[in-house]
Chain A
Amino acid sequence: MTGTFWMQVAQLARRSIVRTIRQPAHVFPPLIFPLGLLAVNAGGLAPATKLPGFPTDSFLAFALAVPFIQGALFATMNAGTDLARDIQTGFLNRLALTPLRGGALVAGLLSGVVVMGVVQAGVYLTVGLLAGSGLASGAGGALVLLGLSALVALGFGAVGALLALRTGSGESVQGLFPLLFVFLFVSSMNLPRNLIEIDWFRFAATANPVSYLIEGIRSLVITGWDGQALALAFGVGTALAAVALAGSAVALRGRMTRT
């Protein structure tokens, strides 16, 4: 990798971050909506902690992992919508006339997404701690949690980029967003998998990679250091990022074709 490549990445990352910050609709909903849902669920589902085998007596601590994934999903949509807008407005075509390397475009965009993802994660963690959730893994766990959040943001951001590059339409990216939410809803977000009663739902939650991302973050909050949960979370996050990045690279090659 040359210095020029990294300079291109830095420039595009800066553009991605500045563009996000300048759009309040891209900043506040990913912060407020997940925290609002956390407050509602922490209150409404608190009686679930009385179920035999529930791993903690605080539903707030149990549910704190969910905003991290929900915020990353918002980042997916924002990253995808921004990239699709670049395609629709012809910005990508103009870039194709420059010596810019395709990889720098995606890396720059995703650097911005990761930075925003880590900022969001810091806010969720701070709010959770102020609300009294606690962090069983301590200060070191907070750093691992931020690292895992960065990986999740990278993975979901790459999915957003892939959708944008494949469809080239912001409306299509937004239309696919609810489908991504299915992965969040059909997961262990509200109950541990061993307490899910309905067989098909428990099976779907077990097959759903998002369950392992949630459980990795959750383990840091309520258990402490759970090597298996963390290995699964980092493994799933890495695999998601690798697959989505590979798909994006293939799709980008078609979009950046110099004619």
Chain B
Amino acid sequence: MRAGALGAVLSVAGGVAWRTIHNVFTTPSLLLPGVLFPLLNFTAFAGGLSRLHDLPGFDFPPGYTAFQFVFILLQSAVFGGVFTGFGIARDFETGFTRRLLLAAPHRSGIVLGYAIGAAVRWLFTATVVTAVAFAVGMEVGGNGVDLFGLYALALLANVAGILWSTGVVMRLRTMQAGPIIQTPVFLALFFAPVYVPLDLLQGWIHGVASVNPVTHLLETGRSFVAGDAAGAGLAFAIAIGLAAGFALWALRGLRKAEAAG
């Protein structure tokens, strides 16, 4: 990409990202659900199910709070992207995106801008969730590098989430796309070993979780917290692959939105 084109992309991305961030942080009804939803799940899972740590074969030294924290962090990351996708749908319904498509000198910057907005939004949520987790006594076995790996993995999940939802919204251009965006994400997250390690799952859920790519992200995240970066290479390859695949999905969606006028 030439310097001029790159500048145009970054200029558009900066404007869209700023608008997204401004809208979210000045509208409590947009900001709060994204923060409260993971905190509510964290309370219910880490608080209500901690006894599962006593199950035979459940071996996770940092404890059940840390075990659930990793799932909640990944969930908040993906849903941070999904919730931002709802904002894109709203922009289509109000006609803002149509004007944006007309005005932007390089339209790929629109997708990049929404992705940056989603990342900033999630970083705020991640900060709150992490602060609450440490406040309730979460123990971490990993060092700073391990934790950086955990947050990097979650950030990639956030990027995959926003690009997935962007691709859907660019094709459907309505708020009614909500269930189509959320349902596969919800299923992918909960068909992973959410409550207990993979080895303790039985029956059909074990089969599904074994082939679910989210399982690798989750287990590697938990390894980071335990201070053992087992499977990090595969997990990052999966996360980067998901983000790259959904980037293509989002950009092709953008072309369809352009064609629709």
Q: Is the CB of A178 within 8 A of B37?
A: yes
- How distant is the Cα of A175 from the Cα of B29 in the complex, in angstroms? 7
Least Cβ–Cβ distance between A23 and chain B, in angstroms: 12
Q: Is the CB of A191 within 8 A of B40?
A: no
Residues of A within 8 A of B179 (CB): 29
Least Cβ–Cβ distance between A121 and chain B, in angstroms: 23
Interface status of B56 (Cβ within 8 A of chain A): yes
Number of residues on chain B facing chain A (CB within 8 A): 32
Chain A residues 42-74 with CB under 8 Å of chain B are 43-48, 50-51
Residues of A within 8 A of B202 (CB): 46-47
Interface status of B51 (Cβ within 8 A of chain A): yes
Least Cβ–Cβ distance between B32 and chain A, in angstroms: 9
User: Which of B48, B49, B195 is close to A186, meaning CB atoms less than 8 Å apart?
Assistant: B48
User: Which of B33, B37, B54, B195 is close to A45, meaning CB atoms less than 8 Å apart?
Assistant: B195
Residues of B within 8 A of A44 (CB): 190, 193-196, 201, 205
Q: Scoring B residues 197 to 209 as 1 if CB is less than 8 Å from chain A, else 0, what string do you get?
A: 0001111110000
- How distant is the Cα of A186 from the Cα of B45 in the complex, in angstroms? 9
Q: Is the CB of B48 within 8 A of A191?
A: yes
Q: Is the CB of A51 within 8 A of B51?
A: yes
Chain B residues 45-79 with CB under 8 Å of chain A are 47-52, 54-56
Residues of B within 8 A of A48 (CB): 49, 51-52, 55, 195
Residue of A nearest to B178 (CB): A25
Residues of A within 8 A of B128 (CB): none
- The A interface is mostly helix, strand or loop, or mixed, namely helix
- How distant is the Cα of A182 from the Cα of B40 in the complex, in angstroms? 7
Interface status of B127 (Cβ within 8 A of chain A): no
- How distant is the Cα of A205 from the Cα of B190 in the complex, in angstroms? 24
Interface status of A223 (Cβ within 8 A of chain B): no
Interface status of A195 (Cβ within 8 A of chain B): yes
Residues of B within 8 A of A201 (CB): 43, 47-48
Q: Scoring B residues 172 to 200 as 1 if CB is less than 8 Å from chain A, else 0, what string do you get?
A: 00000001000000110011011110001
- How distant is the Cα of A186 from the Cα of B191 in the complex, in angstroms? 23
Q: How large is the interface on A (under 10, 10 to 19, 20 to 34, 35 or more residues)?
A: 20 to 34
Interface status of A181 (Cβ within 8 A of chain B): yes
Q: Is the CB of B50 within 8 A of A197?
A: yes
Q: Is the CB of B49 within 8 A of A190?
A: yes
- How distant is the Cα of A186 from the Cα of B41 in the complex, in angstroms? 10
Residues of B within 8 A of A189 (CB): 44, 48
- How distant is the Cα of A200 from the Cα of B50 in the complex, in angstroms? 12
Interface status of A91 (Cβ within 8 A of chain B): no
Interface status of A40 (Cβ within 8 A of chain B): yes
Q: Is the CB of B43 within 8 A of A51?
A: no
Q: Scoring A residues 197 to 220 as 1 if CB is less than 8 Å from chain B, else 0, what string do you get?
A: 110110001000000000000000
Interface status of A232 (Cβ within 8 A of chain B): no
User: Which of B48, B54, B191 is close to A196, meaning CB atoms less than 8 Å apart?
Assistant: B48
- How distant is the Cα of A50 from the Cα of B179 in the complex, in angstroms? 35
Residues of A within 8 A of B5 (CB): none
Residues of B within 8 A of A182 (CB): 40
Interface status of B248 (Cβ within 8 A of chain A): no
Chain B residues 192-242 with CB under 8 Å of chain A are 193-196, 200-205
Q: Is the CB of A191 within 8 A of B51?
A: yes
- How distant is the Cα of A123 from the Cα of B56 in the complex, in angstroms? 36
User: Which of A50, A190, A191 is close to B56, meaning CB atoms less than 8 Å apart?
Assistant: A50
Q: Is the CB of A185 within 8 A of B40?
A: yes
Interface status of B36 (Cβ within 8 A of chain A): yes
Q: Contacts A186-B44, A190-B44 hold; do A43 and B203 have CB atoms under 8 A apart?
A: yes
Q: Is the CB of B200 within 8 A of A47?
A: yes
- How distant is the Cα of A171 from the Cα of B29 in the complex, in angstroms? 10
Residues of A within 8 A of B195 (CB): 44-45, 47-48
Residue of B nearest to A29 (CB): B179
Q: Can you list 26 pairs linking A and B with CB atoms under 8 Å apart?
A: A40-B190, A40-B205, A43-B204, A44-B190, A44-B194, A45-B195, A46-B203, A47-B200, A47-B201, A48-B49, A50-B56, A51-B51, A51-B54, A51-B55, A185-B40, A185-B43, A185-B44, A186-B44, A189-B48, A190-B48, A191-B49, A191-B51, A197-B50, A198-B50, A201-B43, A201-B47
Given contact pairs A178-B33, A190-B44, A205-B48, a sample of 20 additional A-B residue pairs in the complex whose CB atoms are under 8 Å apart: A29-B179, A40-B205, A43-B201, A43-B203, A43-B205, A44-B194, A44-B195, A44-B196, A45-B52, A45-B196, A48-B49, A50-B56, A51-B55, A185-B40, A185-B44, A189-B48, A190-B48, A198-B48, A200-B47, A201-B43
